[in-house]
Amino acid sequence: MSFRHQYVIGDLQGCYAAYQKLLKTIDFDPKQDKLWFAGDLVARGEDSLSTLRHVKALSEQGAAATVLGNHDLNLLAVWRGATKIKKKDKTAPIFAADDSDELLHWLRHQPILAYPDEHTVLVHAGIPPHWSINDAAEYAQQLEVPLRGSLKKLDKLLPKLYSKTADHWHDNIEGFTKLRAISNYFTRMRLCKQDGTLEFSFTASLDDHMPDGFLPWFAWQVPRERKILFGHWAALRGEVDLPHARALDGGCVWGNALLAYRLSDGKVIRSSAHCPNS
C-alpha cells in the first residue's frame, strides 16, 4: 500500500492528550497515512489505557505499527504476575478495563524490531555496535517467539528478563540469559563498550560524565546499511541526528514534547503540548 505520509513517533508513555494534539498537528489521516511507534506506549502519562486502545485500533486498520519498549514489557510482566506496578506508573486502569486481556494479548504479539521503509530500522533503545542489523533482526525474532507463544512459555520468560546487572554477551550465550541480554540491548541500552558490555545506571545527557570505557551505543563508529530510529533516552530530547542513528524520544512525559519523524524527508514535527503530569 502506498501512503501519503509515514511518521515515526517517539515514546508516548501514555501521554494521550499530547499524542492527540500531535496527530492534529501532522493532519494525520488513517486512510492515507501510517504511524510507527518507537515503543513505551504506556507508563507515566495521564492516560495509558486510551493510548494503548488507540494505537491498537490504528494497528488493526493497517494505519500504525509499534515495536516493544521496556515499559511495554514491564506491563506484560505485571499482567502475568512476574512483577508489580512501579510507583510512578499510571497503568492500573489497563488491568481494570474490560478489554484488558485483549489489549495485552495484542501487545505481546508486537515486534521488537521493524522496518518502516527501505532506508530505516526501528527499535526502542538501539542496536549495539557488535551486531549487524541482520544479526539484530535474528535476535529480535528469538525474543519474539516466547513473547508470542503460549501463556506457559510467556510466564517462564517474563521473570527471567529482569536483572540488576547486565549479562556479558559471548559466542556461547544461550537460554534465558541470552534472551535477557537481547531484551536489554533492544529496550534498556544507553551506554555500552565497543564489545557490547552494557551500563544501566547512566540516564543523563551527553554533556554529563560517563563511566570510563563507555560511550552512547550510537557513538561507536560502525557501518550501517540502514538508519536506526530509536526512542528510550529522554534526556537526549530527540536532538541526536547522525547518518546512522536518529533519536526520537522528545521527553514529553518530563515536560518536553512528542516528536514525529517524517520518513519521506526526515522532518521532525513537535507536539504543541506536553504531558500534564510533568
Q: State the pTM of this model.
A: 0.96
Residue 124 DSSP code: S
Strands, E assignment, 49-130: 64-66, 120-122
- What is the architecture, at CATH level 2, of domain 6-270? 4-Layer Sandwich (3.60)
Task: Tell me what pLDDT residue 1 has.
Answer: 73
Task: Tell me what pLDDT residue 165 has.
Answer: 85
Task: Tell me what pLDDT residue 153 has.
Answer: 97
- Collect all residues with Cβ–Cβ distance below 8 Å to 131 and sequence separation of at least 6: 139, 185, 196
Give, to the nearest 10 degrees, the angle between helix 70-79 and helix 100-108.
130
- Collect all residues with Cβ–Cβ distance below 8 Å to 15 and sequence separation of at least 6: 45, 46, 51, 252, 253, 258, 274, 275, 277
| Inter-residue contact 33 to 3 (CB < 8 Å) | yes
Task: Tell me what pLDDT residue 252 has.
Answer: 93
| Inter-residue contact 178 to 114 (CB < 8 Å) | no
pLDDT tens, residue order, the chain (278 aa): 789 999 999 999 999 999 999 999 999 999 999 999 999 999 999 999 999 999 999 999 999 999 999 999 999 999 999 999 999 999 999 999 999 999 999 999 999 999 999 999 999 999 999 999 999 999 999 999 999 999 999 999 999 999 888 899 999 999 999 999 999 999 999 999 999 999 988 999 899 999 999 999 999 989 999 999 999 999 999 999 999 999 999 999 999 999 999 999 999 999 876 777 65
Give the bridge partners for 245, in sequence order.
Answer: 228, 242
| Inter-residue contact 229 to 248 (CB < 8 Å) | yes
C-alpha cell at 38: 518507537
